[in-house]
Structure 1
C-alpha cells in the first residue's frame, strides 16, 4: 500500500533519527580541510608548476561498495527539496482508525527527497509527534547512513533514542557503531560506547573507541571521554578527554606527529597541538624532543583583525646539552638557544600600510643544527625588514630598513650584505595621453657594514616613454636621465672595495661625495606575423615575431664609486633588452648596442602555447668599459667584443604528459659555452612524475638532477631525488659530488598514509671565489630520516615530510 502524507509528518521523524552532523570528521590543523570525492578524483598538478598543492584525502582505494548493506546509490543527493516534497509511505499494513495514531507494519518504507526510512514497524502519533520505529531500522540521506534495532522519540522536540546503532558518513567516510544514541535537540547528540574510523566497514586499520561521544552541531565540536586510539587491535593511546570537529571549522586538537633522526641533533619526535582560540586568531604548540640536544618548544601564534594580520613564531631550547662543537666558530653547548619570527601587516590610513618581517636566532649555528633537515637548500642568512608604504593612482612610496644575520657558522659577518638603515623610495608613473607617459624612480639608502666603507646613496632617474603600434607592430622609444650621488662617512680614505686597506685588496676611495650623471636612451620595436599551419596532423596558429632593440648610454668613469649592493647579473634572454647588466645603482653600464631577436610560437585551437622558440644577440658598436671590480684593481679590464653570446631558448609541450624547457648561450668571443639548461618533465600514470634537469654556467656551476614519483600500484609509490655537481675550475671549495640524495616510499590505503624518507644533503659550508674558512669546515654533510603516519580524517592533509617532497620533486602531490 502506498500513501502520501503532509511534508511535515513521518519523514521529519527520519530526520530526527539521523546521526547529527559528520562525527569526528577531522582535526582541521593550520589550514582549511580539503575533501576528495569518494572515488579520489582530483586533477593532476599542471606540468611545470613550481609548487603543487597537497593532495586532498584520497578514498579511491576504499572498497567501492564498502557501505552499509542497504545503501541505495540512486537515491537523490539534493537535501534542499525536503521542505517542499511529499512523503511517500509503503507498508504491507496501515492502521489509522482513530486518525491520530498511525500503525505501519510489514516492510515499511518512507521516502522524501533525499531521505529514506525503513523498518519492520513504525508507530506515529500525529497529535504529540511521538514516534516508535522497531525492527531493522534503516535510514539514508544525502550525507549519511544509519541502522538501529529500535528508535523512539518526539519529532517536535527533536529528541530521540536509538539502540544498537551503526552509522556511516557518505562524504568523509567516517563510520562506526554505538550502543545507544540520544538526541537532546536538533543540535546535540550523545553516543554511548561508540567507535569511529574512516577505514572500510569491517576492515579497521585504526579506530577510536569512546565511553561517550557528544556532538554539538551549533558549535561544530565533539567531545570523546574515556577514549582509546587503536591501531589494528592494539590500544595505542588513552585519552580521558578528546575534542574534535564535526564540520570543516578549525578545531583544537593534535596534528600529525613526525619521527626522525639527524646526525646533528639525534632522534627527533614532534607532536604538534593546534589551538583554535577564536575565529580571528589561533596558535600551534609543537613540542619536540631531540635526543642529542634536549627539549625544544616551537610556538606559533596567528592573528587577523580589521586592520592587521600576522604571525609570531618562537622556538626555544633551554640549556643545549649537545656535544662540544669544534667544527664551527661558535660552541653552543650549555647555552639557551632560540629563534623568533615576527611577520605583520597593518593598515595605517588611506593607502598607507606598515609591514615587518623580523627573523633572528640566538646563534649562527641554529639552522645548521635544527633548521635544514626538511628545509631544502641550506639557509646562509636571515633577513629582517620593516617599512611603511603607500601609493596612489600614479605614484607609490616607501620608507624602511633591512638588516641581516649570518647563518653560516663557518664564515664571519663580513660575508653579509650591507644593512640598509634606512631606505626610502618614491616612484612616479603618469600617463600624459594614450601613447605618452612620464615617470621617475627615486631612491635614498644609508648603507651600514662594520669594517667597510659606509655612507648614503641617492639615485634619481626621471624618464619619458612613448608606445606606438597595434597587434601587428610596436615602436617604443624611451629617454631617461640617471643621477647617482654618495655621501661617504668619515674615514672613507681607509677603505677600498674589499674592506680595510690593511689587507691590500684594493685601492682607497678618494672623494667623500662622488657622483655620476648620464642619459639612457632606448628604442624597442617589433613585428608580429601569424599563419595557420599543421604539425603531426594537428592544426596550429604559428607566429613569427622579429624584434630590434637599440640602447645608448655614454661612458662615465665609476671607479671611485663604492659597491654597496651591486653585482653583475647573470646573462640571459631578457638581458638582451635590459638597460643595465648590473643589479643595484652603483654601476651603470655604457652602451651603444643593437639587439636583434626573433621568436616563434605554436598555439593550438584552444589558445594554449605548445611551442615557443627564441633566438637573439646584442651587437656592440663601442667597447664595454664599465666592469665590476676585480681583485686589487679598481675594475676589470674593458671588453671590446663585437657581439654578446648568442642566446636561444625553447619551451615545448606538444603533449599534455610531457614538457621540455631549455636555454643555451654560446660566446663567439671565447668560443665557449657560457650557459646551458635542459629540463624535462613527464607524467607517469595518474599520479606519478619524472623530472630531469641539467644546469651549466661557465665558471660557476655544472649540475645534474633527477627526481621521480613512481607508482608501483594504487597503494605504493617510490620517491626519489638526486642532485650531483661537477667541480668547477677557479671556484674555491666548490660544491662537488652528490649535493642531495633523497629516497623514500609512500603507502596509501583507504584510511592511512605512511611516508618514510631518507635524505643525505650538504647542510652548511662555504663555496665561492673568495677566501675560504678553516680547511675542513666546508660543505659538511648531514643525514635525516623521517617517518610520518597520516590517519585520514584525524588531521591535516600533510605533515612535515609532504612540503619537503613538494619542494624537491617538481610536480609532486
Structure 2
C-alpha cells in the first residue's frame, strides 16, 4: 500500500491541529538553559563577534564563542530549512504526513508510520500518534522528534494534554538549545504548566553532543520561564567524568537576564592577608536596583563582609560599595616606619557614587571614597593599581548648565593612603568651592565669555584662606576651508583673603623652613592675556607603497602675550608647574590652578602633516614644534631646602630662548599594527626631557603584541612588553614584563598559558609584582628601602555558558596586557 498523506490543502481546523504538534510545543522552552554569571554579551553559535579595535588599551570581555565546537553539531534530526519565525504559528496551517490515518468518530485520530507534522517553525516526527480533539489528550510513541526555532527534543514516548499545557516524556529524553548551545539528557521530563518543567535524572552541558568535557548531573532539575531560573537538587559538577563539586541545592539562570543566586567562589593568597576565600551572593531586587553581598575570610586577618548596591531611578542613579573587617587579627612582626599596627582594629573602605537630577538643568553629583587607615590598600589590594594609589578623592557638587553657561557649587577633599608618606602630602581641602563659566556667541565670528572660581582652602598647619579668580575674555574664530585666525583678549583678576595668623606661615609650612613669610592678608593679581592662533591647511594627492593618500601640510603660529606680575606673596593652594608636553605648545599657562599665571611674550611655531586614505581614515600624523621666548620666564614656584634635598615641583627664573623641541608621530598604515612616539629635546641643557614609544601589533585573530618605552627625566624610565601569542586555534601563550631603569628591578612580570575548547577555557598564570608604592612611578627617596614583592600563581577555569571559577585572573590579564580580549 502506498503511504497516505494529508496534503497541504487538507488542513485540520485550529482546534484539531494534530495533537502531536500541539503537544510538542510544550517543550519549546523546557530544557536546562544555563548562562554565564558574569555580565558578558550573549553567546553566539557561529563565532562572530566584534573584535577590539586596533590601538585600544582596555577591551571588553569577549562573549562565549562556540566556533571551536563540532560543525553542524546538532541532533541528527535537525532540519536547517525549517522556518525560524515562531510568530507565524498562530496563523499557519498544520501539514501532516503519515503512512496510515484512522478516525472512526471524527474526534479520535490514529496516525501510524512515518508521522510528520509541520506548522511554521515547529516540526514533529513519530512512529505512532493518537489525538482526541475533544479532550485535547495526545499520545506519541516511538522515535518522537521535535524541532522549533530555539529547541530540539527527542523521546521514546510523550503523553499529555494541550489545554492544560501538561505533558510527560519518558524513555531516553534528549534536548538541545539552539540559541545557547546547551544540551543534555533525562530519564523523565514533565511539563507542569506552560512555564514550568521538571526533569528527573538529568544532565546539562554546553559541550558537543556526545562529548561532554564538563557536565552538570542532578536527580531533579526544575525550570521556570517566568523567573528565568533553574533549580537543581542533588547536583554534581563533573569534568571528564570526575565529580569535583556537589550542590545539595543550587539555582542557576536560564538566560542572560540578571538573576538572584550565588556566584562562583574565589580563592587567592597574598603575603599581607594570607589565604582568602569569598563567595558572592547576587540579589536581583528589581529591574532598576540590585545588590551583591560578599562574605570573605582571610586566614591571617579574619572575617570581612563586603557589599555593593546599585540603583537607577528616573531622577537619581548611583552605587554604594563597602568593605568592613570588624577585628583585624594580623600581628605584623616587622613593623616599619611606613606601616602601622592594625591588630585588633576595625578596617573598612567605602565608596559612594550618586547622580541626582534636582531640577531641569541641575544635578547633585556625589563621589566619596574613604578608607580606615593609610595601610588599607596595601594590605587588601591585590593588583598594581590598588597598591600604587596614593590619594583617595571625594567630592560633592551641585552642577548646572544651559545653552551658554555652566556652574557648580560644592567641595572636594583627599585622603592619603600611601603608608610611606605623612598626611601633610594631602592637597588642600576645597570647602566650599563654586565655579561659573559662560560663552556667548554674537555676530558671526565672535564670543564673549568668562571662567570664574571662588573657593575656600583648608589644611592643618598651613596658611589658609579664600580665593576668587575671574577670567573674562572676548575671542573670534575667523576661518575658511584652508585657513583659520583665532584672536583672543582676556583679563585675569585673582584676589585672596587669608585667615588670621597668616604671618606665621611660608609656602611649605611654618616659618623657618627657608622661605619668606606671607606679609599681606589680602594679596591680589591682575593682568591682561592676549593670544593669536592662526594656521593654514594645504592638501595634495600622493601615494605610498602603491596606496593612494591625501596628504595635508598644516603650519600653525600661536602668539601669547602676558605681562609680568610679581606673585611671590601669593600662597600656593592648588597650583603646581605642569610637566611640559605637546599640548602645552598652545596653552596660556604652564601652571595648574589659579595661584600662578606665567608671564609670556612667546611665539609657538608648529607644523603637522597627515596621510588620509580614500575612506578619510588618518593613517599617519606627524607634528614638530617649539615655543620661542622673547622675554625671560620670571614667574616662579619657590623652592625650599629640607634635609639637603630640594622640594619637588619648584620653578626658577629662566632666560631660555626656546622651549623643548616637541616631536610626535602616530601611524596606522594598515589594520595590523599601530605605533606612536613623542620626543622632547631640551636645547638649553642639550638633554632629552621626555621620550615615549608605544607599538601594538595584531597577531592573527586573537593575538596581540605590545611594546612601550616611557622616559621622563628625573621621574621615570620604564620598559614594558606584553603579548598574547596564539600557538594554535586552541592554545595561546600570554606574558607581560615591566622593568624600571631607575630602580634597576622588575616592577611586574606575568607569564601563562591559555586553552580554549568548545565549552571550556583554562588559564594558568604566574605573576610577580611589587607590593609597595615606590618603584612604580618614581625612584626611591633617600633612605627608603626597596619595596617588597610578591609572587602568585593564578588558575582560572571557565565553563562556557556557566561562568568562571576564580574570575580575578581574567581582569588582571586584561589590565596588564593592552588590547587583550
Question: Normalized against structure 1, the TM-score is what?
Answer: 0.94
Q: 2:270: which partner in 1?
A: 262
Correspondence 1:491-640 to 2 at 5 A: 491-502=501-512, 504-632=513-641, 636-640=651-655
Correspondence 1:122-141 to 2 at 5 A: 122-141=129-148
Q: 1:3: which partner in 2?
A: 7
- Structure 1, residues 628-679: CA drift from partner, whole Å, max 9, x if none? 2222599743211222111111111111010011111122222211211111
8 Å contact from structure 1 (residues 16, 186) kept in 2: no
Correspondence 1:85-100 to 2 at 5 A: 85-100=92-107
CA distance in 2, matches of 1:797, 1:681: 30
CA distance in 2, matches of 1:697, 1:356: 35
Q: CA RMSD for the aligned pairs?
A: 2.3
Shift of 1:693: 0.3
- Structure 1, residues 93-130: CA drift from partner, whole Å, max 9, x if none? 22345433332221222223322111111222333332
| 1:380 matches 2:387 | no
Q: 2:696: which partner in 1?
A: 681
Shift of 1:256: 3.3
| 1:293 matches 2:301 | yes
Q: 1:703: which partner in 2?
A: 718
CA distance in 2, matches of 1:190, 1:287: 32
Give the 3 Å change call, closer, same or farther, for CA 238–320 of structure 1 in structure 2.
Answer: same
Q: Aligned to 2:794, which of 775, 786, 808?
A: 786
Give the 3 Å change call, closer, same or farther, for CA 7–461 of structure 1 in structure 2.
Answer: farther
Correspondence 1:97-246 to 2 at 5 A: 97-164=104-171, 165-246=173-254
Give the 3 Å change call, closer, same or farther, for CA 585–101 of structure 1 in structure 2.
Answer: same
Shift of 1:15: 4.6
Correspondence 1:291-440 to 2 at 5 A: 291-324=299-332, 325-327=334-336, 328-373=338-383, 375=385, 378-440=388-450
| 1:743 matches 2:751 | yes
CA distance in 1, matches of 2:360, 2:78: 58
| 1:642 matches 2:651 | no
8 Å contact from structure 2 (residues 378, 386) kept in 1: no
Partner of 1:655, secondary structure, is coil
Q: Aligned to 1:754, which of 762, 771, 776?
A: 762
8 Å contact from structure 2 (residues 23, 138) kept in 1: no
Give the 3 Å change call, closer, same or farther, for CA 736–492 of structure 1 in structure 2.
Answer: farther
Q: 1:277: which partner in 2?
A: 285
Partner of 2:144, secondary structure, is strand
- Structure 1, residues 296-323: CA drift from partner, whole Å, max 9, x if none? 2211111222222121111112322223
Give the 3 Å change call, closer, same or farther, for CA 464–196 of structure 1 in structure 2.
Answer: same
Q: 1:84: which partner in 2?
A: 91
Shift of 1:770: 11
Shift of 1:526: 1.1
CA distance in 1, matches of 2:747, 2:777: 19
Name the stretch that deviates more: 529-538 or 254-263. 254-263
- Residue correspondences, number: 803
Shift of 1:768: 11
CA distance in 1, matches of 2:67, 2:207: 12
Q: 2:673: which partner in 1?
A: 658
Unaligned runs of 5+ in 1: 728-734
Q: 1:730: which partner in 2?
A: none
- Structure 1, residues 745-791: CA drift from partner, whole Å, max 9, x if none? 22222222222332222222347999988945553323333322222
CA distance in 2, matches of 1:613, 1:376: 36
Shift of 1:717: 2.1
Shift of 1:27: 5.2
Shift of 1:539: 1.4
CA distance in 2, matches of 1:477, 1:508: 40
Shift of 1:614: 1.1
8 Å contact from structure 2 (residues 29, 151) kept in 1: no
Shift of 1:375: 4.0
Partner of 1:45, secondary structure, is coil
Partner of 2:378, secondary structure, is helix
Unaligned runs of 5+ in 2: none
8 Å contact from structure 2 (residues 30, 197) kept in 1: no
CA distance in 2, matches of 1:801, 1:449: 41
Partner of 1:369, secondary structure, is helix
Name the stretch that deviates more: 323-332 or 471-480. 323-332
Question: Normalized against structure 2, the TM-score is what?
Answer: 0.94
Partner of 1:555, secondary structure, is coil
Correspondence 1:417-496 to 2 at 5 A: 417-496=427-506
CA distance in 2, matches of 1:537, 1:121: 69
8 Å contact from structure 1 (residues 303, 310) kept in 2: yes
Name the stretch that deviates more: 575-584 or 303-312. 303-312
| 1:73 matches 2:73 | no
Partner of 1:83, secondary structure, is coil
8 Å contact from structure 2 (residues 466, 496) kept in 1: yes
Q: 1:50: which partner in 2?
A: 57
Q: 1:715: which partner in 2?
A: 730
Shift of 1:19: 4.5
